[in-house]
Structure 1
Amino acid sequence: MTRDPSAQPRSVEDHAGLVARMLEPLSDEPAMESVPLDRALGRVTAGEVRSEVDLPLFRNAQMDGYAVRAADVRSVPVALEVSGDIPAGHTSPVSLIPGTALRIMTGAPVPTGADAIVPVEDTELVLGRDDDLSGAIVEIRRPRERGEYVRERGSDVRRGDVLLAAATRLAPRHLAALAAAGVETVSVRSRLRVGILTSGTELVAGGKPGFGQVYDANGIALAALVEEAGAIVSVRASSGDDPEAFARILDDALHRSDLIITSGGISKGAYEVVREVLLPRGADVTTVAMQPGGPQATAVVGGMPVFAFPGNPVSTQVSFIVFLRGPLRAAAGLPELKPREVALTEPLRSVPGRRQFLRGLLDGEGAVVPVSGPSSHLVAGMARADVLIDVPAEVEALQSGAAVTVWTL
């Protein structure tokens, strides 16, 4: 379905609402899967994870030094017989004889009867050698209170306590905690499978472009955006301007994806292959009152949502950020990247009647500097930016210091 050319362009808010409604069935009841820890980085926990063990697993030494009874080192200096040695990884229980000390390494089990660790820096071995503790005597030079440098069992987390909350995006520190608790697999939200289809005879995916050809920047950009939003790329394919060829890669992607994104081929000129293939399948081809990214199309093909973006590199990226990034992050359980207000460092002008998404760079003081121009082909200029400056359709000019809304790139 093509909108009446005389109709007013659709607003950004209305089109974003349409996209969100199309994706609601995919995010209402997210699926879950269990993955090993070495493949869990960046995934989102499907529910809270409770520890099945105490951490630490046993009382252990926080420092290299000597395990003692605090009562035996209240008056210093004091010389104590060294009755043994406990390295890290020692697997047999040991008891401390009152009035003696046991040399102990960091992480080693604290012997029964000991209630403090004297760091090695506060001691001197006055008899015996480090490699032979037979008959050794250690002088303790500083008193210690009960519990000093002793890590008690369960002082970090108790068995049954929540180790990680639900909807936690797993970072290295989370994986370390899971591994320390003996967790080998973790239940996470399944990721949406996104098919990415670019179109245009002019596109070259590899090798050197010939005259009139360009590198396919949109395929790699969309794949990166999809993965950053918590989904996975199920298919990445490209076709020229032949409708049959595009229909084949579309039908293949439908069998392997949860949604499809296309780039290019939806404008009003000739050789608009995506438009030609999707219109008979019920596509809504429209113009959104924004720049870049005005031409937009949506369709439901075989029950699967398809989102068609314009083909200029900046238009493709802006379209994804404005319309798809939020819903995909929500479906993945990731936090919303909310637009925020900052101040302009210099004046800017905007085209009236269309909401502009200009490129900007935040300075060290939290204000934004416009970079590059407004054109949708300036992909290198987009790379120099770290935000989009959102200029309302009714605004023609803004002065330096004016508050503007920015979207994080």
Structure 2
Amino acid sequence: MSTAPRKPLMPLDDALAQLLASVQPLAQTESVSTSDADGRVLAEAIVSGLQVPPCDNSAMDGYAVRVDDVLAAQGALPVSQRIAAGSVGSALQPGTVARIFTGAPVPPGADAVVMQEECTVLEVTDASAPPRVQINATPLPGQNIRRSGEDVARGDVVLAAGTRLGPAALGLAASVGMAQLQVVRKPRVALFSTGDELVLPGTVPPEQMPPGAIYNSNRFFLSAMLRRLGCEVTDLGIVPDRLDATVHALQQAAASHDLVLTSGGVSVGEEDHIKPAVQSLGQLDLWQIAIKPGKPFAHGRIGAAHFVGLPGNPVSSFVTFVLLVRPLLLRLQKVQDVAMKSIAARADFDWPRAEKRREFLRVRRNDHGGLDLFTNQSSGVLTSAVWGDGLIDTPPGEPILYGATVRYIPFSELLA
């Protein structure tokens, strides 16, 4: 009896392209306070209605001067006015300087600011006379002046639609007067695990764990990563390894969520019910992806909801989430640039075992500017993802020799 030839493993880039092609970004938006918008995605571009800074202002505490007056002066120059931030000075009188503070408007006529450390205030004997200042360094025109609009000009698009907002972006939005921001609504994600061997921490003490049972770790790191990506998470816990229970859980979750995410049960064993359950409710692509760890991966639709099934091994689940689920969720929120960013780095180890699949090794930066390798790269060793601070993206068939340049992807890039 002949068997059908096994399909070749799908390259990761092809799987990601298919996944992203299936995404219709969320249309609903909401208005949130700028102070509460960290991690959200802009639905509308922000256009500045003013200049930032609004006027030429001083970058230093010091003295506003005319450069020609300083060059022509035989001695000290009198101080004709004092200008603090928030106040407005008058035009600078010829042959004088103005005491000025950081952020204060530069008075008309002044063309440089000399920092106070380069000036000497002379003692005066006549209390009615203005203080006099000796300028000890020759200023250049424009020195220490922040020009109006040098940060943002009126009419500039300061933040484009699809920008994922971080602290600096929130500050920029506030600098052009935005108290409220229109953002894409949060994706709603239902999360559950499958497997009769799974036990929820807190329900059974370690010393009473039955043979073959394991604590459900995937639930916790997947939930945390989903929330970091701005999702509303509904945790449906552990679903029993029964087809009817799996169908019921999927049906209920798909009715009110944008994504149903599961871990475990995406292989083709007798106790793996995800495939027939999803197929009975919608459509499913069960991919064998050419990566290690994380070969089994499922994507489909149940009604309007996306379905993603991750492998059960914790590191496989972790890696496939950051490589595939993260970009899906970002694109769902209208983020266009979802590609992972790698950095050229030096491998301070040997990895002679060239894999047929593209491999993602857990590594950590060392004090010498290189990368150290976690000794156990098994897909079940979650310790490697805690010890490590990133992944090495290793092409198939390529061993790594000590000192080689490799593609390093920091977790700060993948988990932000």
- What's 1:137 paired with? 131
AA aligned opposite 1:194: V
State the distance in 1 between where 2:58 and 2:313 align. 61
Counterpart of 2:83, as a letter, is I
Which residue of 337, 348, 351 maps to 2:352? Answer: 348
* Cα separation, partners in 2 of 1:86 and 1:276, compared to 1, 3 Å: same
Q: Residues 370-389 of structure 1: matches in 2 within 5 Å?
A: 371-385=374-388, 386-388=390-392
1:238-317 mapped onto 2 (5 Å cutoff): 238-241=237-240, 243=242, 246-269=246-269, 271-275=271-275, 277-282=277-282, 284=284, 286=286, 288=288, 290=290, 292-317=293-318
Name the residue aligned to 1:86. Answer: 83
Give 3-state SS (helix, strand or coil) of 1:163's partner.
strand
> 2:177 is matched with which residue?
182
For 2:3 and 2:182, locate their aligned partners in 1 and report how far apart those are by CA, in whole Å.
Answer: 50
Unmatched tracts of structure 1, length 5 or more: none
Q: 1:205 to 1:116 in 2, by over 3 A?
A: same
Q: Secondary structure at the match of 1:127?
A: coil
Aligned to 1:102: 98
* Correspondences of 1:6-405 after superposition (within 5 Å): 6-13=4-11, 17=14, 20-21=17-18, 23-27=20-24, 33-46=30-43, 48-90=45-87, 93-121=89-117, 122-127=119-124, 135-142=129-136, 143-144=138-139, 146-165=141-160, 167-207=162-202, 208-209=205-206, 210-212=208-210, 213-226=213-226, 230=229, 232-241=231-240, 243=242, 246-269=246-269, 271-275=271-275, 277-282=277-282, 284=284, 286=286, 288=288, 290=290, 292-331=293-332, 332-337=335-340, 345-349=349-353, 355=357, 357=359, 359-361=361-363, 371-385=374-388, 386-388=390-392, 390=394, 392=396, 398=399, 400=401
Measure, in 2, the Cα distance between the counterparts of 1:177 and 1:77.
45
Q: Note closer, same or farther for the CA distance 1:287–1:109 as it changes in structure 2 (3 Å cut).
A: closer
Whole-Å separation in 1 of the counterparts to 2:379 and 2:23: 31
Deviation of residue 128 (structure 1)? 7.5
CA–CA separation in structure 2 for the residues paired with 1:43 and 1:25? 22
Change in CA separation of 1:384 and 1:135 when aligned onto 2, cut-off 3 Å: same
Distance 1:5 1:30, change over 3 A: farther
Displacement after TM superposition at 1:256 (Å): 3.4
Instruction: Count residues in correspondence.
Output: 395
Q: What is the deviation of 1:98?
A: 3.8
2:23 touches 2:331 (CA, 8 Å); kept in 1?
no
Per the TM alignment, residue 238 of structure 1 is displaced from its structure 2 partner at its CA by 1.1
Q: Structure 1: how far apart are the matches of 2:330 and 2:58?
A: 43
Counterparts of 2:287 and 2:70, CA distance in 1: 82
- AA in 2 matched with 1:375: S
TM-score by length of 1: 0.77
Identity of matched residues, %:
30
CA distance, structure 2, for counterparts of residue 285 and residue 154 of structure 1 = 52
Rounded to whole Å, the distance in 2 between the matches of 1:109 and 1:225 is: 46
TM-score normalised by the chain length of structure 2: 0.76
Determine helix, strand or coil for the equivalent of 1:26. Answer: coil
- Quote how far apart the aligned CAs of 1:76 are: 3.8
**More displaced 10-residue stretch of structure 1: 397-406 or 76-85:** 397-406
Letter in 2 for 1:380: T
C-alpha distance in structure 2 between counterparts of 1:199 and 1:206, whole Å: 15
Distance 1:361 1:292, change over 3 A: closer
Conserved? CA contact 1:128–1:137, under 8 Å: no
The alpha-carbon distance between structure 1 residues 72 and 329, as it changes in their structure 2 partners (threshold 3 A), is same
Tell me, in whole angstroms, the C-alpha distance in 1 between the residues paired with 2:344 and 2:79.
66
Letter in 2 for 1:312: N
Unaligned runs of 5+ in 2: 412-416
Query: Is the Cα contact below 8 Å between 1:235 and 1:256 reproduced in 2?
Result: no
Residue type of the partner of 1:324? Answer: V
Pairwise CA distance, 1:158: 2.2
Bigger mean CA offset, 318-327 vs 375-384: 318-327
Deviations 1:7-58 (A, max 9, x none): 4145223x87567545535346766554432233344445653321112112
